Amino acid sequence: MKKLITLFAAALLSASAMAGDDKYEDRSSASMDKADVEEKFSALDRNDDEQISRAEASEDEEGMLSERFASVDADSDGYLTKDEYSARPSDEQFE
Ligand SMILES: [Ca+2]
Ligand SMILES: [Ca+2]
């Protein structure tokens, strides 16, 4: 029974992968999230110092990251590391 559920989940994943970008094919949902974080993080990290400053966060209009900066910056050093960024609450939790 458990194997059947796993197969079903795999079928769902491959179906959604086919509908989306080819590069996400064969990835689990967890690694897709990680890839998403990597992509967004590096897009925001303009100076490639592996941290997102407040100024860099202000570029994220879509996710309103600058509004949430203080809550995402767990150690309050004024910069978001990749760990802090990936641990941030989802958009839904902020509604
Ligand atoms: Ca940076
Ligand atoms: Ca920090």
Separation in Å, CA 57 to CA 4, 11, 70, 78, 83: 43, 37, 11, 11, 15
- pLDDT (tens digit per residue) in 19-37: 655 555 555 566 668 898 8
Instruction: Please report the pLDDT score of residue 30 as a whole number.
Output: 61
The rounded Å distance from CA 85 to ligand 2 centre is: 9
Chain centroid to Cα 52, Å, comes to: 14
Ligand 1 centroid to residue 19 C-alpha, Å: 33
C-alpha of residue 77 to centroid of ligand 2, in Å: 5
Give the model confidence (pLDDT) of 46-85 as tens digits.
999 999 999 999 988 776 898 899 999 999 999 999 999 9
Fold of 31-95: Recoverin; domain 1 (1.10.238)
Write down the pTM of the prediction.
0.61
Mark the residues whose beta carbon lies below 5 A from ion ligand 2.
Answer: 73, 75, 77
Q: Tell which residue, 47, 46, 95, 43, has the closest CA to residue 68.
A: 95
Question: Using an 8 Å Cβ cutoff, are 27 and 17 in contact?
Answer: yes
Domain spans of the chain? 31-95
